[in-house]
Each structure stands twice: as structure tokens, then as C-alpha cells.
């Protein structure tokens, strides 16, 4: 089990509701990790390219090198913006944390689960609500970037 999953509760049963929250949590957590790594990778690539531009001028490198690296920086920023990596990481991470918190409430029969006559049904409804909220935010951000 990865470090970020080690405080996800071990749910008692193997009900569809428990499977759903586990699957969704792992998916959102993995997407957050991928978005964070991609965002940082592109940022480091841009920094290295900028540094090489500065050094290339000092060492009289071929004249095509600086413009080519400048184009690489612009391309990398375009990809980062187009993919929405800056927005994706916090959105996915927040959703994964909401799912983790919901799983703990469910596992401990606390909060909304304390007096619920049908805890699994309530859990499924909450997981779907949390996922739908993230999807609605993603669609809104996409439309905002596009428009």
C-alpha cells in the first residue's frame, strides 16, 4: 500500500458501497499524483531550458539553440495550460481527501452514518455526490479556459 493510502480506513465488509469508495479514492489519488508530477516535470523542463539559454549566450553556442529552447519553453507552457495541470492537482487531491474523510465517517459510524438506517446506500450517495461535484468543477474550469 502506498504512503498516501496508508491512512485510508480498512473497511469492514466487501459491499459494493465500500468497493466504490475505495476504487474512487484510489483513482482520484492517482490522478492527483500524476497531475502534480506532470506539472512539476514541465516546470523543471522550462527552468532547465531557460538556464541553458543563458549559458548558451555566454559560451557562444550555435545561434539556433536559444530560439529553439525558447520555443520549447513556450510549448511546455502551452501544454501545461491546455491540460490544466495547475488546476487538476488541487481538484483531484481535494476530492480524494473528501472521499477519505467520508470513508472514515462510514467506518466509525460517525456523523451522518451514526443514525442512518441504510449506511451503505448513504455512502454510495455521498460518493456519487462528491464525484459529481468534482466533475462539475472540472467542466466549469474547462469551459472557462476554452471561452
**What does each of the 147 residues of the chain score in pLDDT, given as a tens digit?**
455 567 898 887 788 999 999 999 999 999 999 999 999 999 999 999 999 999 998 898 999 999 999 999 999 999 988 888 877 888 899 999 999 999 999 999 999 999 999 999 999 999 999 999 988 877 776 677 666
The pTM assigned to this predicted structure is 0.79
CA 98 to CA 25: how far, in whole Å? 9
Q: What residues does each domain of the chain span?
A: 24-146
Distance CA 84, CA 10 (A): 33
Amino acid at each position: 500500500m502506498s504512503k498516501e493510502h496508508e491512512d485510508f480506513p480498512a473497511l469492514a465488509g466487501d459491499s459494493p458501497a465500500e468497493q466504490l469508495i475505495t476504487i474512487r479514492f484510489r483513482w482520484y489519488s492517482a490522478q492527483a499524483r500524476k497531475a502534480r508530477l506532470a506539472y512539476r516535470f514541465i516546470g523543471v523542463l522550462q527552468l532547465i531550458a531557460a538556464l541553458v539559454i543563458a549559458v548558451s549566450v555566454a559560451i557562444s553556442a550555435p545561434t539556433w539553440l536559444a530560439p529553439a529552447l525558447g520555443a520549447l519553453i513556450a510549448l511546455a507552457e502551452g501544454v501545461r495550460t491546455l491540460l490544466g495541470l495547475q488546476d487538476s492537482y488541487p481538484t483531484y487531491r481535494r476530492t480524494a481527501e473528501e472521499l477519505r474523510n467520508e470513508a472514515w465517517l462510514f467506518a466509525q459510524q460517525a456523523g451522518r452514518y451514526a443514525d442512518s438506517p441504510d449506511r451503505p446506500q448513504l455512502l454510495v450517495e455521498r460518493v456519487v455526490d462528491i464525484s459529481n461535484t468534482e466533475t462539475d468543477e472540472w467542466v466549469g474550469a474547462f469551459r472557462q479556459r476554452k471561452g
